[in-house]
Structure 1
Amino acid sequence: MATLRILVSLLALSAGPASALTVSELDAGEYSSDWSSPTLIANGTSAISGTGTAGDTDIFAVGGLASGAQVLTLSLSGADAFTDSYLNGGGSIRYSSTPFAHNWDGLNPGDFGISYDPFQAVSVSNNLTASRSITLDSSFGGTLYLAMIFTYGNAPLSYGIDLSSALLPGDPLVESPSAVPLPATAPLLLTALAGLLLMRRRQPRAG
């Protein structure tokens, strides 16, 4: 019981106030491409980032957002993949307030894409970066199902989905094991627990 009480105390000390979180594909692992089983994104997440190339589909279920009309921003970049030659890539977005069942479900706010020729002047149509808006209407209920569908391109594109404008004030952070990595304090807590258990085993039994 003493060991359990100490562990609970350590957990309490490590728990700070809830804060916004960025979910990265680099940390979380490959996002789901299954329309009936999207990657679950934790409440309190302020941004989602990932990469995609032709043939990839990343599908998310984002809960705990503010209800009502609002605009979310999707940013794209091919800068990490640029190799001094022509670069292009893109696809389409699907979003819905109800779960997807098929790849034609939901609404399409427009296609996205990047086209860049290093031998031409940089312009809106010749650029390594681009952005797209996702406009949610007044009927939006706080849960967003979102799909990034990459249909063409000769290089992977990085993307970021900004959810910060849709976060509820003071919304508690609820971790989703499919998308959110362990907090940085978790290895320390596990090490402390192992040490306490080892010390307890080494204690001589009272006669």
Structure 2
Amino acid sequence: MATLRILVSLLALVAGPASALSVSELDVGEYSSNWSSPTLIASGTSMIIGVGAAGDTDIFRVGGLASGAQVLTLSLSGADAFTGSYLNGGGSIRYSSNPFSYNWDGLNPGDFGIAYDPYQPVSASNSLTDNRSITLDSSFGGTLYLAMIFTYGNAPLSYGLDLSSALLPSDPLVESPSAVPLPATAPLLLTGLAGLLLIRRRQHRAG
């Protein structure tokens, strides 16, 4: 887990403070399932991408978000795992402004679930995708603890938590005005001009 935290932090440093960053479980390795030691997501991250199957739990601590009331969007999909037969999977979400101690801590914005029968028409209840909203109230202080708890299913589900609406605006880079330096060739240029003026002055005297 320590290696994972270092990798996530390094990705943020490479991206820079003013650029948005997506963190994927496929790139950084398994997210933490330890309630007291969540995966640390660097400030400036705009999307958390992961995969979960029955029995998996992914737990995060996301800092550096805007405080106050806002809505985050969680999207889930079983399309990558679909093999042509019936597919299902689901679980629950927990979130909090305070660190988790147990799996019942925090709030549940609603369970998620996907059930898809390829022999039936696609509908709201028969789909490979699902979406959930996480509504943060006015007391939210800018640090989010989030747990994705996968409790059932016959296939893994991909998910993406969109944090872009909660990112703090980046401060514009303001540089103090400074003297414009002469290019490296300026001394040579000035010497050449002085020589031309000297030659012209001699020609003028000779004439």
Band of TM-score, shorter chain: 0.7 to 0.9
AA matched with 1:159: Y
How is 1:5-44 mapped onto 2 (pairs within 5 angstroms)?
A: 18-44=18-44
Q: For 2:40 and 2:83, how far apart are their aligned partners in 1? A: 34
Is contact 2:17-2:44 (8 Å) kept?
Answer: no
Q: For 2:102 and 2:82, how far apart are their aligned partners in 1? A: 33
- Point out where structure 2 has 5 or more consecutive residues left out of the alignment: 1-13, 173-207
Render the CA deviation track for 1:13-54: whole Å, top value 9, x for unaligned. Answer: x88663000000001110000000000000000000000000
TM-score, scaled to structure 2: 0.75
Q: CA RMSD in A?
A: 1.6
AA matched with 2:82: F
Match in the other structure for 2:86: 86
Match in the other structure for 1:62: 62
Is contact 1:43-1:171 (8 Å) kept?
Answer: no
Residues 1:126 and 1:99: Cα distance change in structure 2 (over 3 Å): same
Q: For 1:19 and 1:83, how far apart are their aligned partners in 2? A: 37
- Point out where structure 1 has 5 or more consecutive residues left out of the alignment: 1-13, 173-207
Match in the other structure for 2:135: 135
Moved over 4 A (4+): 14-17
Q: CA deviation at 1:107?
A: 0.3
Match in the other structure for 1:149: 149
Match in the other structure for 2:122: 122
Q: For 2:106 and 2:28, how far apart are their aligned partners in 1? A: 25
AA matched with 1:26: L
AA matched with 2:92: S
Is contact 1:53-1:89 (8 Å) kept?
Answer: yes
2:95 matches 1:95: yes
Relative CO higher for 1 or 2, CA cutoff 8 Å, sep ≥ 6? Answer: 1
Render the CA deviation track for 1:94-138: whole Å, top value 9, x for unaligned. Answer: 000000000010000000010000000000000001100000000
2:48 matches 1:48: yes
Residues 1:15 and 1:168: Cα distance change in structure 2 (over 3 Å): closer
- Structure number with greater Rg is 2
Is contact 1:44-1:171 (8 Å) kept?
Answer: no
TM-score, scaled to structure 1: 0.75
Q: For 1:106 and 1:22, how far apart are their aligned partners in 2? A: 25
AA matched with 1:61: R
Is contact 1:31-1:59 (8 Å) kept?
Answer: yes
AA matched with 2:88: N
How many residues get paired?
159
Q: For 2:171 and 2:125, how far apart are their aligned partners in 1? A: 39
